[in-house]
Amino acid sequence: MEHFRNPRNVGEIPDADGVGTVGNPVCGDVMTMYIKVKDNRIVDIKFKTFGCGAAVATSSMITELAKGKTLEEATEISRGDVADSLGGLPPIKMHCSNLAADALHEAIKDYQKKQGANEK
Amino acid sequence: MRGFAMRKVYMDHTAGMPVDPHVVEEMKRYFEKFYGNPASLHSFAQEARKGLESAREKVAGLIGAEKSEEVVFTSCATESNNWAIRGAAARNQMRGKHIITTGIEHMSVLNVCKYLMKQGFRVSFLPVDKYGIIDLEILKKELTDETILVSVMYANGEIGTIEPIKEVSEIVHDKNAYLHVDATAAMGQVAMDVQEEGVDLLTLSSNDMYGPKGVGALYIKKGTRLEPLVYGGGQERGLRSGTENLPGIVGMGKAAELAEAEMGAESERLNKLRDKFIKELLEHIPYSFLNGHPSKRLPNNVAVRFSFIEGESMLLNLDMAGVAASSGSACTAKTLEPSHVLLAIGLKHEEAHGSLLFTLGKQNTEEDVDYVVGLMPDIVKRLRAMSPLTPKELRKSV
């Protein structure tokens, strides 16, 4: 509830190193994650979400979990970790926490793809 | 949240209503004093029987039934809907196996129809316009000599729209089909007359007019052929056997009596409150819209939607400020699909997800409306700032 009432890290990062968007408005949830990476660590992370309370709370939680982590560590944050950190979610809401984790992983992939392109 | 005691505002009356204190008083006597079984012979039973029949008369009076025995008590509106449709289908299938209903009915109508489709019946689900009103021309076209029953709700609780029952009835009776009307959402809010409007079967609920939960009724016009629901000792004219839930029934009777007495003035008061509520919400919040018909509308119903954001987040924010409302949106329901009613009136999924439903009641005041109207713009703004769907140019201003 606290993460819904006062969500952390809401917003966007205009010059983000990686951006990941998952979900679609048809099923009621869209989530975008922005990450800023320095020396292989996530130094800043922000999110935007169109979704229910659980979607807001899980987005907020995952940004807290991911901040300061290396990309490898962040990639390992699983769908279950988010729900666990929030003290569990009802089964019908699990897809919200899945989305949050998926959005983060997408953002990391996006970063890695951009890095790969730069190195070439 | 704030330093002072938080205001509590209940605006979810369609989901559940408080029971009127007069109703509770009346019910208590039938728990403690008149506990006899109406079927017995002694004086205890006579009092119980009197209570039962008096309740029946009051309910019959509220809907303008010709005779009180046309009202049969059930356990809830869902039971009445199930019975009306299954009972009429079973008893009249020799005449035809076609049923017509609409896409915006309650699940207790739609799911019975789906069940009947598995049993070999053909069911037509009529479309509605953007306000939720059924198309009478399409109804005419769908009706055939095979059609035995048409089921159309009196009003939709989710979008507030009132259907043209009298016109529907004329068309249906031209083809000698029965008309079933689910009046659950309209109970105690709109004056209805089953004879004048030409209804054969009418579903009624008690809790939707400040009566207890666990009791409902089905009006069965004399001569309507319907299979019994429960076989047993022959209670309720042999149509629904089983010892009567007397305190509940008496409570529903009292609620009907109060509704009849108070409805005129109360509906007028609610109409004003509703119109003010809708007008101010739409004025104060950009990209907000009304769901349902602006004037052919239940007095207690304020159904609105806000672009770019999702209903449940709004509900949680309102709850934190002491306000109870509802949404037909995905996450609140057991499925993740938005409400079938909102999709039927042509809303896109993301529009449907942004819907909120406030249903007003007796205890709501103008101050309550002012309080909620005061809260909403900030809630919407905060969620829009968070939403990836909000167009960039609007993010600061809305």
In tens, the pLDDT along B349-386 reads 889 989 999 999 999 999 999 999 999 999 999 999 88
Token digits for B38? Answer: 């109406």
Is residue B113 part of the annotated active site? The answer reads: no
**Which helix (H) or strand (E) covers residue B289, if one does?**
strand B288-290
Q: Class of B9-17+264-394 per CATH?
A: alpha beta
**For residue range B23-32, what is the model confidence (pLDDT) as tens digits?**
999 999 999 9
Neighbours of B366 (CB within 10 A): 12
Minimal Cα–Cα distance from A84 to chain B, Å? 20
Q: Which chain A residue shows the shortest CA-CA distance from B329?
A: A28
Q: Does A8 touch chain B (CB under 8 A)?
A: no
Q: What are B161's strand-pairing partners?
A: B297
CA-angle at B358, arms to B16 and A89, nearest 5°: 75
Q: Which of B309, B316, B349 sits opposite A26 (nearest CB)?
A: B349
Give the residue among A115, A113, A95, A103 at the shortest CA–CA distance from A65.
A103
Count the helices and strands in chain B (H runs, E runs): 12, 12
B21-259: in CATH 3.40.640.10: yes
Helix axes of B366-386 and B311-320: crossing angle, nearest 10 degrees: 130
User: What percentage of chain B carries pLDDT values higher than 90?
Assistant: 87
Chain B contacts of A96, Cβ < 8 Å? 331
Q: In the structure, what pLDDT confidence band is assigned to residue A26 with cuts at 50, 70 and 90? A: low
Q: Do A28 and B385 touch (CB under 8 A)?
A: no
Q: Which of A28, A31, A49 sits opposite B329 (nearest CB)?
A: A28
Q: Which chain B residue shows the shortest CA-CA distance from A29?
A: B310
Q: In the structure, what pLDDT confidence band is assigned to residue B331 with cuts at 50, 70 and 90? A: very low
Candidates B136, B331, B343, B394; catalytic one: B331
Q: Do A55 and B310 touch (CB under 8 A)?
A: yes
Q: Do A25 and B336 touch (CB under 8 A)?
A: no
ipTM attached to this prediction = 0.77
B148 and B172 Cβ atoms separated by less than 8 Å: no
The domain made up of A2-119 has a fold known as Sufe protein. Chain: A (3.90.1010)
Q: What average pLDDT does the segment B217-236 reach?
A: 96
Minimal Cα–Cα distance from B319 to chain A, Å? 11
Q: Where are the domains of chain B?
A: 9-17+264-394, 21-259
**Which helix (H) or strand (E) covers residue A18, if one does?**
strand A18-24
